[in-house]
Amino acid sequence: MESSGETAVPVNRPEECPEPSALCRFRRDALAMTGAVGVVLLLAAAVAAPLLANGRPLLMLEENGTFSLPFLHTFFAPDSPEYLIEQTFNYALLLLPLLGLWRLLTRSRRRLRRLGSWGLVFLLLLPFLMSRPKLDRRDYRQWVVERNARAWFTPIPYGPFEVVAPPYETPSVRHWLGTDEIGRDVAARLLYGARVSLAVGLGATLLALVIGTAVGLAAGYWRGWFDLGVMRLVEMVMCFPTFLLLLILMAILSDRKFEQSILIVIAVIGLTGWIGLTFLVRGEVLKQRVLPYIQSCEVAGIPAWRTMLVHLLPNISGPILISFTFGVAGAILAESGLSFLGFGVQPPTASWGGLLRQASEDPLTYWHMTVFPGLALFWALCSFNFTGEGLRKVLAPR
C-alpha cells in the first residue's frame, strides 16, 4: 500500500483550547463561568452606583444657557458617614476606564504606558484628597421644575439617604423595588449596599489572607518549637468570640463619635477570620518543605524570607486563592448577619442585612423588604462560591 506522501497537519478547533491551561479548563466549566459573570456584574453595579442611583442630576441646563454638574462635588466628597468607602469606589469608577483607555493608546510603548499608568493613579487621588464633604439637602427634582431647567438624572433618580415616599411603599413604576421603613428608595439602597458588602468581603478577607498566610508560612517553614508555640497561640485566638469583640469595639468607638462602622466590621472579621487559612497554609508548607527545591535554596544560602516569598509561596498560591474566594462569600454573609442583629454597619448607611432587619417585624406584609435584599445576598454568595468551586477544580492538586 503506497503512502500519499502528505503529512496531516493537526488543526485546532475554534471551540477547543490549544493547551490544557488553567484558564481554558475554567472556561469549560459552566458553573464557574456563571459565578465569574455574577461577580463581575456585582462589582460593576457597586462601582457604578452613583451613575445608576443618584438624587443629583448628572447634567443640568438652565434657561440662560448655563450648565452645571451637580453630582460632581458629591462624587469626590460623598455626603455619607462611610465616606472613605464611598471615595474608594468612586475612585475606582474614575480610574478603571481612564487606565484602560491609556493602556490601549500606548500599547506599543511599554515604558510610557507604565509611567503614565502610575501618573494616573496618583493624579486622580488629588481631587479626592482636596475635596471636603458639603451638606446639600436640596431636592433637585423639585428645583429643576421650579427653575424650568433641563436635567439628566440617573435611571434611579434617588439617593440612598433621601426620604422620597411613604414608608413601606410596595414596588411601582416610580420606585422599582418599593421604599423602606422611613420612605427611602430600596433600589438605591440595594446598589449602595453592594458597596458595603463588597468592601467588607474583600477588605476583611484580604486582611485575613495576609495574616493567615504570614503565620502559616512562618510556622510551617521553621517548624519545631516555633511551630508548636505559634499554633498554641492560634488556638487561643480561635476561641475568642467574634460577636463579643465587635460589640465591645462598637461601644467604645461610638462613645468617641467614630462613624466609620464599616472599618470596624472589616477589622474585626479580618482579625478573627484568619485561623482556618493559617492551618491550610501551614499544611501546604509542611508538604513543600521537604522537597528538593527548598533544600537546594537552603544549601545555596538563600535567606529564609526570600525562600518563603519567592520560591515557596508561588507553589502554594492555588489553595490560598481558592480559600480567598470562599472567604469573601463568608465575610459578606457575616457582615449581613451582624447588620441584621444590629452589631454591624450602622444606620443610615445602606446594608443588605439592615434592609432585611427592617422587614423582621412582619416579613409577609413587607415582602419587598425581604425578597429583594435576600435575592441580592443570594446572588453574591452563589457567585463567589461558584467561582471558588471552579478555581478548586482547576487549581487543586489531583
Give the CATH number, domain containing residue 324. 1.10.3720.10
What per-residue string of b and e applies to 53-81 under the rule 16 or more CB within 10 Å gives b? Answer: bbbbbbebeeeeeeeeebbebbbbbbbbb
Cell digits of residue 351 = 446594608
Domain assignment present for residue 155? The answer is no
Domain assignment present for residue 213? The answer is yes
pLDDT digits (tens, 9 = 90+) for 90-127: 999 999 999 888 888 888 788 888 888 888 899 999 98
Q: State the residue range of the domain holding 325.
A: 187-395
Domain assignment present for residue 362? The answer is yes
Report whether pLDDT(188) > 90: yes
Average pLDDT, the chain: 84
pLDDT of residue 11: 45
Domains identified in the chain, total number: 1
pLDDT of residue 239: 81
> What is this structure's pTM?
0.86
Report whether pLDDT(289) > 70: yes
pLDDT of residue 71: 86
Domain assignment present for residue 233? The answer is yes
Domain assignment present for residue 337? The answer is yes
User: Is 53 or 268 the better-scoring residue by pLDDT?
Assistant: 53
- pLDDT average, residue stretch 377-398: 86
Instruction: State the amino acid at position 180 in one-letter form.
Output: D
Residues 6+ positions from 267 with CB-CB distance below 8 Å: 204, 207, 249
Report whether pLDDT(332) > 90: yes
pLDDT of residue 398: 52
Distance CA 73, CA 152 (A): 16
Distance CA 7, CA 206 (A): 53
pLDDT of residue 19: 45
- Residues above pLDDT 90, as percent of the chain: 28
- Residues above pLDDT 70, as percent of the chain: 92
Contact between 328 and 382 under an 8 Å Cβ cutoff? The reply is no
Contact between 91 and 131 under an 8 Å Cβ cutoff? The reply is no
Secondary structure (H, E, C), the chain: CCCCCCCCCCCCCCCCCCCCCHHHHHHHCHHHHHHHHHHHHHHHHHHCHHHHECCCCCEEECCCCCEECCHHHHHHCCCCCCHHHHHHHHHHHHHHHHHHHHHHHCCCCHHHHHHHHHHHHHHCHHHHHHCCCCCCCCCHHHHHHHHCCEEECCCECCCCCCECCCCCCCCCCCCCCCECCCCEEHHHHHHHHHHHHHHHHHHHHHHHHHHHHHHHHHHHHHCHHHHHHHHHHHHHHHCCCHHHHHHHHHHHHHHCCCCCHHHHHHHHHHHHCCHHHHHHHHHHHHHHHCCHHHHHHHHCCCCHHHHHHHHHHHHHHHHHHHHHHHHHHHHHHHHHHHHHHCCCCCCCCCCHHHHHHHCCCCCCCCHHHHHHHHHHHHHHHHHHHHHHHHHHHHHCCC
pLDDT of residue 378: 94
What per-residue string of b and e applies to 283-298 under the rule 16 or more CB within 10 Å gives b? Answer: ebbeebeeeeebeebe
**pLDDT category of residue 145 using cuts at 50, 70 and 90:** confident
pLDDT of residue 143: 81
Domain assignment present for residue 263? The answer is yes
Domain assignment present for residue 221? The answer is yes
**pLDDT category of residue 254 using cuts at 50, 70 and 90:** low
Domain assignment present for residue 170? The answer is no
CA dihedral 90, 93, 99, 104 (to 10 degrees): -170
pLDDT of residue 396: 65
